[in-house]
């Protein structure tokens, strides 16, 4: 069933409750092809996450972060954005990159840190940055990007640009200093920004009930005068519709919105984490049953848009695509030594050029074994 988008909560309103649409017909405002494409977007993210975790476990990349269980949030938001909108992510919104059209190979290049990596191997894995889709490089420091998003929104407002910034934080991150600073400025300035609290119930291993005494995390926005709602983050269309409403508010000059997406992190916090140490099998099994991908697949079937044969073909194709596209990245050489110098300035100044030439002359006497190749 599709969750209705609840009304906005402001300081004078009560906590909205999630309700269900009883109408099993095709949702208003969506074509059948749009609905199928949204499902395929979630499946693409899941396939990429499964592939990158396999690569890390086999020692072919050093680190990764998966977003298993949170695909509806990423696809629902990304599908509602306009080209001019900007994304200020945490480390778990990489699925939005795929939804915005970046190739699997481009993303895998960053995981390998190879010569085709946009960052030329100078950022740790999962710290993506793609200028062409306005996807800003994330920071490992929790919450700092929220202030950046608000600053960019204020700049767009000042310039008269028709752009909205969207930014994300986890449940634990709502306790960070920058969360409160960002909401203060956004609320006062009526900045065109949408905040998403992705409440996946764990800040690494710390459950949400031990992080905050508030009845609901979205109520934190009310104290800053920001209209705030809580939605079912596993309901793809609820996320999409809430995002459209928030974007329309921002473009109309009505200021920011805070949206809490209630979801669940089905996988580990990162490839360095073992979730079985802090949550039991029963909890994991309940989360698996609430998986947003399986849930939306059943909806497509109920609308007569999808069947088991199509689904099996899709997942088979995606699995092969992941292997082929990530192998392309694995076979690219490392960034050149010269790029340490040439990538700093548009025109290399004479002093830096002399240092580069001296360095290259010295290092050329000690060639690296198997340079340009990655071990399997």
Q: Is 14 left (phi over 0), alpha (psi -120 to 50) or beta?
A: beta
Of 256, 242, 271, the closest CA to residue 151 belongs to 256
Q: Are residues 158 and 267 in the same domain?
A: yes
Q: Are residues 152 and 38 in the same domain?
A: yes
Rounded CA-CA distance 212/191 in Å is 26
Q: Cite the DSSP H helix spans in 58-199.
A: 71-78, 95-99, 104-112, 144-159, 177-189
- Residue 364 belongs to domain spanning: 336-376
Tell me the pLDDT tens digit for each residue of 317-338: 999 999 999 999 999 999 988 8
Rounded CA-CA distance 101/110 in Å is 16
Q: Are residues 276 and 296 in the same domain?
A: yes
Q: Are residues 49 and 194 in the same domain?
A: yes
**Is 46 among the domain residues?**
yes
**Is 1 among the domain residues?**
no
Q: Are residues 324 and 372 in the same domain?
A: no
Tell me the pLDDT tens digit for each residue of 225-273: 999 999 999 999 999 999 999 999 999 999 999 999 999 999 999 999 9
**Is 5 among the domain residues?**
no
**Is 12 among the domain residues?**
no
Task: Give the dihedral sign, CA 53/124/360/353.
Answer: positive
Residues designated as active site: 265, 269, 278
Task: Give the dihedral sign, CA 48/54/60/61.
Answer: positive
**Is 286 among the domain residues?**
yes
Q: Are residues 139 and 125 in the same domain?
A: yes
Q: Are residues 145 and 215 in the same domain?
A: yes
CATH number for position 66 = 3.40.50.970
- pLDDT tier, 8 (very low <50, low <70, confident <90, very high otherwise): low
- pLDDT tier, 368 (very low <50, low <70, confident <90, very high otherwise): low
Q: Are residues 296 and 359 in the same domain?
A: no
Which pLDDT does position 23 carry in this prediction? 44
Q: Are residues 190 and 323 in the same domain?
A: yes
Task: State the pTM of this model.
Answer: 0.89
How many domains, in total, are found in the chain?
2
Q: Are residues 285 and 370 in the same domain?
A: no
Q: Are residues 159 and 305 in the same domain?
A: yes
Q: Are residues 131 and 185 in the same domain?
A: yes
Tell me the pLDDT tens digit for each residue of 101-135: 999 999 999 999 999 999 999 999 999 999 999 99
**Is 26 among the domain residues?**
no
């Amino acid at each position: 069933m599709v969750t209705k988008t609840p009304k906005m909560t402001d300081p004078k309103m009560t906590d909205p409750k999630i309700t269900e649409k009883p109408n099993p017909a095709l949702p208003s405002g969506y074509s059948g092809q749009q609905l199928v494409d949204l499902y395929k977007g979630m499946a693409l993210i899941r396939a990429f996450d499964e592939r990158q975790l396999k690569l890390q476990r086999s020692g072919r990349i050093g680190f990764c972060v998966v977003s298993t269980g949170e695909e509806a949030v990423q696809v629902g938001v990304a599908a509602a954005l306009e080209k001019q909108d900007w994304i200020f992510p945490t480390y778990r919104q990489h699925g939005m990159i795929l939804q915005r059209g970046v190739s699997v190979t481009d993303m895998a290049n960053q995981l390998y840190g190879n010569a085709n990596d946009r960052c030329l191997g100078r950022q740790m894995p999962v710290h993506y940055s793609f200028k062409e889709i306005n996807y800003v490089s994330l920071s490992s420091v929790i919450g700092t990007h929220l202030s950046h998003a608000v600053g960019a929104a204020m700049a767009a407002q000042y310039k008269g640009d028709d752009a909205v910034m969207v930014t994300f934080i986890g449940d634990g991150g709502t306790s960070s200093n920058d969360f409160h600073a960002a909401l203060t400025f956004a609320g006062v300035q009526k900045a065109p920004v949408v905040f998403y609290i992705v409440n996946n119930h764990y800040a690494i291993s710390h459950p949400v009930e031990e992080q905050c005494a508030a009845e609901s995390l979205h109520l934190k926005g009310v104290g800053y005068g920001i209209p705030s709602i809580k939605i079912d983050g596993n309901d793809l269309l609820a996320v999409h519709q809430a995002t459209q409403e928030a974007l329309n508010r921002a473009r109309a000059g009505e200021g920011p919105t805070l949206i809490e997406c209630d979801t669940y992190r089905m996988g580990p916090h990162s490839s360095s984490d073992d979730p079985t140490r802090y949550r039991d099998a029963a909890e994991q099994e309940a989360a698996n049953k609430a998986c947003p991908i399986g849930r939306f697949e059943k909806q497509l079937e109920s609308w007569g848009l999808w069947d088991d044969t199509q689904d099996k073909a899709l997942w088979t194709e995606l699995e092969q695509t992941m292997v082929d596209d990530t192998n392309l990245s694995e076979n690219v050489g490392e960034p050149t030594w010269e790029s340490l110098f040439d990538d700093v300035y548009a025109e290399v100044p004479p002093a830096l050029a002399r240092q580069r030439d001296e360095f290259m002359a010295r290092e050329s006497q000690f060639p690296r074994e198997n340079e340009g190749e990655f071990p399997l």
